[in-house]
């Protein structure tokens, strides 16, 4: 399992290279990666269905309990199969959809990296691994939404999705850490057994809120749903894969995964049901505003995600219907929504528009896509004989069992909008005239939708095929073994009546749609997105204010801020800490020391009095050279050499800089503020030194280095051994900074020269 994830990541990295080598056929070849992984996971089906769970671990930071550990049960297996199975068709589809795009190689790379991260996410057992993978999916999603990066709308949508999901990710991290502290383990499989302890812990509520924030932002739950429809700026394969079938379900996955640990409390069920229902209704209502195929599908995805969260909330309240409904509806939705998105993209690709009011008569020219849309549409509408019907039936049974009647009524309304959408999608294939010169796309464009929709039909007709895995999924969500018999025809019951009502309402909505659409699309509806925009604008304004204050562009101002901060903070610390001392028992100075001090003092006074910058540099050199001589007198030749050299080179550098800015003129008189600051800085540093001298000398470190330098570092020069051996990592960091500074100077000079000579 660890190997599978590594293969996925490494395989992704070969994508650009394979693409360059294979050209147009690359999509088909690259699809072998997810296909192979899908077969691998399918081969694990018997074990998992038989009730086993697999666990593999690779040590990462074992001392902190952080491991690359992975855990496979029914829930993670279903997700793994979805990710790799749908991923196969998405990769093939991308090859056709983005044929000839100059950045296609990069696209393959990122979408396969996403696949690998998503696999890691659903298989992760360690919460640190889970979080890393979680953030990786957010990042790859950002890159994919912004794939058309030259367009402002793409960039804005990508940033929005990233800020919302990564912001939630931070909350999630905090929540997961709280859970780990409460349960005493970083492994989810161990936390799952401690539900009782977790729920009764005083930190349960804060942890729950944080985890929910993470899950709700990722899975586009109200009030964070707005980023998902905007993410439709992404190329269609991305919308089909990330933003309907897999990534947006990560939040749902996490909630389902933690259900046995966190579920069972009043607040869990009521919160999930409330937000799930609100999301379902928000998605359903906003559907009416749009005529763009992808937007319509996006709002329907929002609604479906709401339904899934609602179901997870129901799980502890019902015996097994909710868990089973979750298992079935999740698969059904991924199949039909992935298929519909790809079909919508194919229509857009061939007909040049995604506006359902402009499309018509497509079945005659695109029969294969048409069959796929009809089958997927049946699933979306929840009609027999497809899997979507079964999923919705079980959902209704679960809702009737445990939810109040008005909640069930609202859910029916939400699903009726789905039925309406199915009609909206199917009708353009049959009514009206086909546009000129539209024809079926290449196999890469219709294969995916057809197979996914066909699977929905197959599993609908023979639910027994899915039943064992569905039981395993439901058991994982429920936290105990579930065995339920999935049937296409459950007989006449209240749920069937509700299904009938849903479809009738959907047809009614369909006839109301044109008028409602025209009315609702008129005005922008204020929503949580306005809060997001306002927040972002406020942040920008704050940043601009801080920048005006601190980044004025004047070097003098920067130095003044830094020095003033230093004086203030160090001075405060010295004052508060009571570290103001006069060293006791200092020996009287020797003659050469007094002479040196006098020289340095003269240099300092000269720097204050002189009016030429260049002369100032030279005079300050006296101070530096004096310090170097002091080092020499104190038997520190290394320090002394370094000080001399640095002094020299600094003088050269400053002189060169001064040559550049000839307009600087002589130093003006006065400047009492600057002089005061300089005096303050010198004074504070002096006090600091005196304070340090007053501390008792702690010889441990010096003795350690003196003793170990020769036997362990093989060097007699302790300073050098410390630099290159004992503290080598620090030195490496320092030379990296030096190198970067050199690069920075080079870039600044280069830019300036280009500005002068365009």
Residue ranges in contact with other proteins by CB under 8 A: 637-638, 641-642, 645-646, 648-649, 652-653, 656-657, 659-663, 713-717, 719-721, 723-725, 728-729, 731-732, 735-736, 738-739, 741-743, 745-746, 749-750, 752-753, 756
* CB closer to other proteins out of 568 and 744: 744
| Minimum distance from residue 630 beta carbon to other proteins (Å) | 16
Cis before 559? omega within 30: no
* CB closer to other proteins out of 270 and 551: 551
3-state secondary structure of 712: helix
* CB closer to other proteins out of 693 and 737: 737
* Start-to-end CA span in the chain (Å): 57
Alpha carbons 81 and 64: distance in angstroms, whole number: 32
| Minimum distance from residue 666 beta carbon to other proteins (Å) | 17
Alpha carbons 336 and 388: distance in angstroms, whole number: 8
Alpha carbons 145 and 110: distance in angstroms, whole number: 11
| Minimum distance from residue 32 beta carbon to other proteins (Å) | 34
Q: Cα Rg for the chain, rounded, in angstroms?
A: 34
Between the CA atoms of 750, 752, 756 and 758, what dihedral angle is there, to the nearest 10 degrees? 50
Which residues, other chains included, contact 152 with Cβ-Cβ below 8 Å and sequence gap of 6+?
Answer: none
* CB closer to other proteins out of 193 and 637: 637
| Minimum distance from residue 192 beta carbon to other proteins (Å) | 36
Kindly write down the DSSP assignment for every residue of 587-648, as one continuous string: PPPPHHHHHHHHHHHHHHHHHHH---HHHHHHHHHHHHHHHHHHHHHTT-HHHHHHHHHHHH
What percent of the chain is helix, strand and coil (3-state, nearest 5)? 80, 5, 20
| Minimum distance from residue 643 beta carbon to other proteins (Å) | 10
The residue with tokens 């039925």 is: 419
Which residues, other chains included, contact 552 with Cβ-Cβ below 8 Å and sequence gap of 6+?
Answer: 558
* CB closer to other proteins out of 558 and 746: 746
* CB closer to other proteins out of 57 and 650: 650
Buried b (16+ CB within 10 A) or exposed e, 613-644: beebbbbbbbbbbbbbbbbbeeeeeebbeebb
* CB closer to other proteins out of 533 and 745: 745
CA-based nearest residue to 228, from 366, 341, 328: 341
| Minimum distance from residue 556 beta carbon to other proteins (Å) | 13
| Minimum distance from residue 748 beta carbon to other proteins (Å) | 8
Q: How many CB atoms lie within 10 A of CB 530?
A: 12
| Minimum distance from residue 717 beta carbon to other proteins (Å) | 5
* CB closer to other proteins out of 633 and 653: 653
| Minimum distance from residue 697 beta carbon to other proteins (Å) | 24
| Minimum distance from residue 734 beta carbon to other proteins (Å) | 9
**8 A C-beta contact, residue 140 and residue 246:** no
* CB closer to other proteins out of 685 and 738: 738
| Minimum distance from residue 442 beta carbon to other proteins (Å) | 46
Cα 663–666–670 angle (5° rounding)?
130
Q: Is 544 exposed, middle or buried (0-12, 13-18, 19+ CB in 10 A)?
A: exposed
| Minimum distance from residue 603 beta carbon to other proteins (Å) | 21
| Minimum distance from residue 736 beta carbon to other proteins (Å) | 6
* CB closer to other proteins out of 500 and 641: 641
**8 A C-beta contact, residue 123 and residue 57:** no
* CB closer to other proteins out of 535 and 646: 646
Greatest CA span in the chain, whole angstroms?
A: 110
What sign results for the dihedral spanned by CA atoms 478, 483, 488, 492?
A: negative
The residue with tokens 């869990």 is: 268
Alpha carbons 26 and 93: distance in angstroms, whole number: 11
Which residues, other chains included, contact 159 with Cβ-Cβ below 8 Å and sequence gap of 6+?
Answer: 142, 146
* CB closer to other proteins out of 403 and 721: 721
Which residues, other chains included, contact 446 with Cβ-Cβ below 8 Å and sequence gap of 6+?
Answer: 343, 346, 366, 368, 369, 372, 440
| Minimum distance from residue 632 beta carbon to other proteins (Å) | 10
* CB closer to other proteins out of 363 and 726: 726
* CB closer to other proteins out of 271 and 731: 731
* CB closer to other proteins out of 522 and 757: 757
| Minimum distance from residue 737 beta carbon to other proteins (Å) | 9
């Amino acid at each position: 399992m660890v190997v599978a994830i590594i293969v996925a990541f490494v395989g992704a990295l070969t994508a650009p290279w394979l693409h360059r080598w294979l050209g147009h056929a690359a999509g088909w070849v690259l699809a072998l990666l997810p296909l192979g992984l899908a077969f691998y996971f399918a081969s694990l089906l018997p074990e998992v269905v038989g009730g086993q769970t697999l666990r593999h671990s690779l040590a990462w930071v074992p001392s902190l309990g952080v491991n690359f550990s992975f855990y496979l049960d029914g829930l993670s297996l279903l997700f793994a199969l979805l990710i790799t199975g749908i991923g196969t068709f998405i990769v093939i589809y991308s090859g056709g959809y983005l044929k000839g795009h100059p950045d296609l190689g990069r696209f393959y790379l990122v979408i396969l990296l996403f696949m690998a991260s998503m696999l890691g996410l659903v298989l992760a057992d360690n919460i640190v691994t889970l979080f890393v993978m979680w953030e990786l999916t957010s990042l790859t999603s950002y890159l994919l939404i912004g794939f058309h990066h030259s367009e402002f709308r793409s960039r804005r949508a990508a940033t929005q999705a990233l800020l919302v999901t990564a912001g939630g990710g931070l909350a999630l991290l905090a929540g997961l850490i709280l859970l780990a502290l409460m349960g005493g383990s970083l492994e989810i499989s161990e936390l799952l057994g401690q539900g009782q302890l977790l729920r009764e812990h005083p930190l349960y509520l804060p942890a729950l809120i944080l985890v929910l924030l993470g899950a709700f932002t990722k899975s586009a739950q109200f009030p964070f749903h707005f980023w998902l429809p905007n993410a439709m700026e992404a190329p269609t394969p991305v919308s089909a894969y990330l933003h309907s079938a897999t990534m947006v379900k990560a939040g749902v996955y996490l909630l389902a995964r933690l259900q046995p640990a966190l579920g069972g409390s009043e607040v869990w069920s009521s919160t999930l049901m409330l937000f799930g229902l609100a999301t379902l209704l928000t998605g359903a209502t906003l559907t009416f505003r749009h005529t763009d195929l992808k937007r319509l599908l996006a709002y329907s995805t929002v609604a479906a995600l709401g339904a899934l969260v609602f179901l997870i909330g129901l799980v502890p309240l019902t015996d097994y219907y909710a868990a089973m409904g979750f298992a079935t509806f999740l698969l059904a939705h991924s199949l039909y929504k992935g298929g519909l998105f790809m079909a919508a993209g194919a229509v857009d690709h061939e007909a040049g528009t995604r506006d359902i009011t402009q499309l018509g008569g497509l079945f005659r020219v695109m029969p294969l896509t048409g069959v796929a849309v009809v089958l997927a549409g049946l699933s979306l509408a929840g009609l027999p004989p497809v899997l979507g019907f079964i999923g919705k039936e079980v959902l209704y049974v679960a809702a009737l069992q445990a939810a109040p009647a008005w909640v069930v009524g609202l859910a029916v309304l939400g699903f009726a909008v789905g039925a309406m959408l199915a009609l909206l999608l199917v009708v353009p294939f049959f009514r009206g005239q086909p546009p000129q010169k539209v024809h079926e796309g290449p196999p890469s464009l219709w294969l995916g939708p057809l197979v996914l929709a066909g699977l929905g039909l197959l599993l609908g007709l023979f639910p027994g095929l899915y039943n064992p895995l569905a039981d395993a999924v439901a058991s994982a969500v429920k936290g105990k073994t579930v065995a339920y018999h999935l049937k296409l025809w459950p007989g006449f019951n209240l749920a069937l009546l509700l299904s009938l009502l849903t479809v009738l309402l959907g047809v009614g909505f369909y006839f109301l749609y044109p008028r409602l659409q025209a009315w609702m699309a008129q005005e922008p509806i204020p929503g949580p997105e306005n809060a997001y925009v306002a927040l972002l604008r406020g942040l920008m304004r704050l940043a601009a204010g801080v920048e005006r204050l601190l980044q004025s562009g004047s070097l003098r101002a920067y130095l003044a801020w830094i020095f003033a901060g230093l004086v203030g903070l160090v001075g405060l610390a010295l004052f508060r800490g009571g570290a103001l001392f006069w060293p006791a028992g200092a020996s009287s100075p020797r003659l050469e020391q007094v002479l040196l001090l006098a020289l340095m003092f003269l240099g300092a006074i000269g720097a204050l009095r002189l009016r030429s910058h260049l002369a100032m540099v030279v005079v300050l050199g006296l101070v530096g050279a004096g310090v170097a001589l002091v080092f020499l007198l104190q038997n520190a030749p290394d320090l002394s050499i370094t000080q001399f050299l640095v002094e020299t080179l600094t003088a050269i550098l400053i002189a060169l800089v001064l040559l550049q800015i000839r307009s600087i003129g002589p130093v003006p008189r006065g400047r009492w503020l600057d002089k005061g600051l300089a005096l303050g800085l010198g004074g504070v540093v002096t006090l600091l030194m005196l304070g340090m001298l007053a501390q008792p000398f702690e010889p441990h470190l010096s003795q350690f280095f003196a003793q170990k330098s020769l036997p362990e570092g093989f060097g007699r020069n302790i300073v050098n051994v410390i630099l290159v051996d004992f503290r080598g990592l620090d030195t490496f960091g320092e030379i990296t900074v030096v190198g970067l500074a050199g690069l920075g100077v080079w870039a600044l000079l280069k830019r300036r020269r280009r500005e002068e000579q365009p």
